[in-house]
Chains A and B, each alone.
Chain A
Amino acid sequence: MAESSITLTSKTAQVLAREQEFARRKPRTLWSDAWNKFRRHRTAMLGVTILLLIIVAVLFGPFVYTRSAQKLDFASTSQAPSLEHPFGTNQLGQDQLARALNGGRISLAVGLMAMFVAIVLGILIGALAGFFGGRIDAWLMRLTELFLSLPVLPVLIMTIYLFRDPLRAAFGLQLGVFFLMVLLIGLFGWMTVARVVRASFLSLKEKEFVEAAYCLGVPTVSIIFRHILPNVLSPVIVSATLAVGAAIITESTLSFLGLGFPPDFPTWGRMLFDAQDYLSLSPYMAIIPGMLIFLTVLSINYVGDGLRDALDPRSLNHP
């Protein structure tokens, strides 16, 4: 009798202890699960590392490596990498490392901001079309088709000519071109996001939790952005990541055509543009900025791939 009661209390104590243990332990959230899966994705982690290195380099590099990116030195033009000039010099004798660090800031900033514009536009249009359906949906999807059937590069070139001068007049040379690039690249990059968001909204708006929110009198705006939108976040995050890479490629292509930033603001694409006439003389002028663009975009794509796997709830048990 006494014995059994002892075992009973010790069992209760055990259960209690385990419960306390569980309570102390941090709860597993969707995000921590995703992070655990992401951590095991080797190429994605490599991508994050390279990306962080590049970001730290362009953010803090110019403070450590203080050589001027503008100073001309006609005594040492088109040099191969050396101790004095780790990335070599260009045809005007400007230090390529300093240029790459300064230009990298602009390249990355354009990529990030353009992604932001594209994602905001894509979410807005996709959410409106998916949620309201009917005529709004039909018109917005027609608009999406219209944008998809425009030849991107020619139209971009045309619009750059159209808006370059007024924006330069309004914001100054550098800032004007920066806004132009961000807005235009964003304006031609929202379509896939909109389609993804719309498709998810179409199925989600029929779910019970939306009906419940509706019955409780939650305002429509709140239903769209606070109740439904968080459920669409994973595909949006993945497309946002990939959009940064795509935007960087577009910016470099435009700069390569001589339509982007002026030569004093050497983005990586602009450096590539300057290098093409000196290809046989000093290939490093092309290789280094080209590899920087390539490495950045490759890392971003690997991160996107890792995020896709990590955020996919269906792959929960077999990462």
Chain B
Amino acid sequence: MTCLTQRQAIGAQVMGRFIIRRVLQAIPLLFVISVIVFVLIMNMGDPLTSFAGRNGLVKGKDRERLIRQLGLDQPIYVQYLVWLVGNDWMKIDSDGDGVAESNGTRLGVLRGDLGTSVVTRQPVLQMIWERLPNTLILMLTSEAVIVVFALGLGITSALKQYSLYDNVFTGLSFVGYSMPVPLLALGLIYIFGVYLKRAGLPYFPTVGMFEPSVGKTWEQVVWHLVLPVATLSIISIAAYSRFIRSNMLEVIGQDYIRTARAKGLANRTITLKHALKNAALPIVTLVGLDLGFLLAGALVTETIFSWPGMGRLFYDHALKSDLPVLMGVLMLISISVVFFQLLTDITYTFLDPRIRYQ
């Protein structure tokens, strides 16, 4: 008894140290990512071309003033510092007379200020906040569909290896895996949107989240989710289920499964309790990586189906060189990716003792 608690205590200690080490590694990683992304984005284009909007280019005095107000005349490391910690604590020279007199207004990313969009003049955080739920609805639904179908298909086809079912499944998974997203999306739109509509049958909507005339009810959203979710799921189901199938085949061949069989356990118990546990383990890694990228949304799918999510936000504002928005979206994605990688690693060590004691 004491021996067991002692071992648990050591285990917890090892885990604690492991978690702390990973967190400490994640912080510099995020820092490096933010520097790289910042330098890249600041060289991407002229934000003032978008700032001008319909009034044409900003020229002469106005341009100088705007550049000064946006802080674009500062060296890039100063711009980065302002972006990171804000400039409300330092005097800036806003009227260009060479004397820094007024305090800045920016709070910096570390205090939750992602800046202001040069296109809509809205705070970036607010724009992201508006898009985030839409993207999460789309991505979480897809992820759930992917995991359920991939597990089901992968396991059943592994259990019936080389049967007709398995062969058909393997063929189909190759087809799905080789499908470019645009083709799949356009194909689904044509068959379930255009063709069914033309044939006078009930058809699936292909644009947006809801019918503007009906309003944003949950039936509308679900109805509009079908085709984008199908687009996002089919390709991933194909890839994941192949992965699960090969994992399952490997596990089924192992000694402990033979032992379970030899001692007379029911096939169901062996598959669902003994084999699945180990075969599904690597899925944790895959899903963990996916969850990190969930916030990024699905750029292509969202664009094709006009889904107002993060991917489309990025794409639309990339076309307009809206640097603060791009920076904000990319940083948010990076943080979520790094966070979920951390979470995945920790979950994995909990689930797989072989790693914990290495």
Contacts and interface: CB of A to CB of B under 8 A. Distances in A.
Main secondary structure on chain B at its contact with chain A?
helix
B48 interface: no
A217 interface: no
A65 to B, nearest CB: 24
A146 B41 contact: no
Contact of B300 (A43, A153, A293): A153
Contacts of A146: 29, 32-33
A158 B41 contact: yes
Interface in B174-203: 174-175, 177-183, 186-187, 189-190, 194, 198
Interface residues of B, number: 45
A43 B178 CA distance: 14
B178 A286 contact: no
Interface in A260-309: 269, 272-273, 275-276, 279-280, 283, 286-287, 290-291, 293-294, 297-298, 300-302, 305
A230 interface: no
Contacts of A159: 40
A155 B183 contact: no
Interface in A126-185: 142, 145-146, 148-151, 153-155, 157-159, 161-162
A243 to B, nearest CB: 14
A17 interface: no
B303 interface: yes
A126 to B, nearest CB: 20
Given A154-B314, A154-B329, A298-B174, A257 B341 contact: no
B304 interface: yes
A253 interface: yes
Interface of B: 29, 32-33, 37, 40-41, 43-45, 174-175, 177-183, 186-187, 189-190, 194, 198, 289, 292-293, 296, 299-300, 303-304, 311, 314-315, 318, 321, 326, 329-330, 333-334, 337-338, 341
Interface of A: 43, 142, 145-146, 148-151, 153-155, 157-159, 161-162, 245, 249, 252-253, 256-257, 269, 272-273, 275-276, 279-280, 283, 286-287, 290-291, 293-294, 297-298, 300-302, 305
